[in-house]
Amino acid sequence: MATWNSRGLRGSTLEELVNRTNEQYREKGLALIQKIPTPITPVRMDKENRHITLAYFEQRSTVDYIGAVQGIPVCFDAKECCTDTFPLANIHSHQVEFMESFEKQGGVAFFLIFFSHENLFYYLPLRDLMVFWQRMEDGGRKSFRREELSPEYYLEKRGGFLVPYLEGLQKDLDHRD
């Protein structure tokens, strides 16, 4: 069974940036996106500081965020990477299955990847991830390199948004037509 400890805080900076962006989008009436908490059961507590120091996950999480953008259902997961190679082990098969089902229901699923060493945000459409995923399942590389990614999905900071993923979403939608 999976347990949580201080390693669970990896990506918390990215999460804060995405949460703040979601607040900005909500305030401007552009999107309503909610963080989906992963249910945990505490095992050990630091009673003095009232912090959970050890817990186990009650169930597998599906995605980090879910909501609607101008009437379009969206779900996405945010991942952080400190090199130019992203290990597919950071994505779980149950997440991919959920996202595929979500898209079959008319929604849009994607990953936000933060290449922290370059301070770059990338919008990865599910269909693009599936190319790498299938390669892995066919016995190929278990990762993808930044140079394999489409340059058009890098997110440029503008408009005061910390992680302007709606621009990536618009490009994704344009490619679906």
Q: Which residues are annotated as a binding site for Mg(2+)?
A: 62, 64, 77, 95
CB 57 within 8 A of CB 1: yes
How far is the C-alpha of 26 from the C-alpha of 1, rounded, in Å? 36
Q: Token pair of 163, please?
A: 């992680």
Q: Is 116 helix (H, G, I), strand (E, B) or coil?
A: coil
Cβ 42 vs Cβ 69: under 8 Å: no
Distances (CA, A) of 159 to 61, 164, 167, 170: 32, 8, 11, 15
Three-class DSSP category at 132: helix
> Cα(150)–Cα(38) distance, rounded to whole angstroms?
31
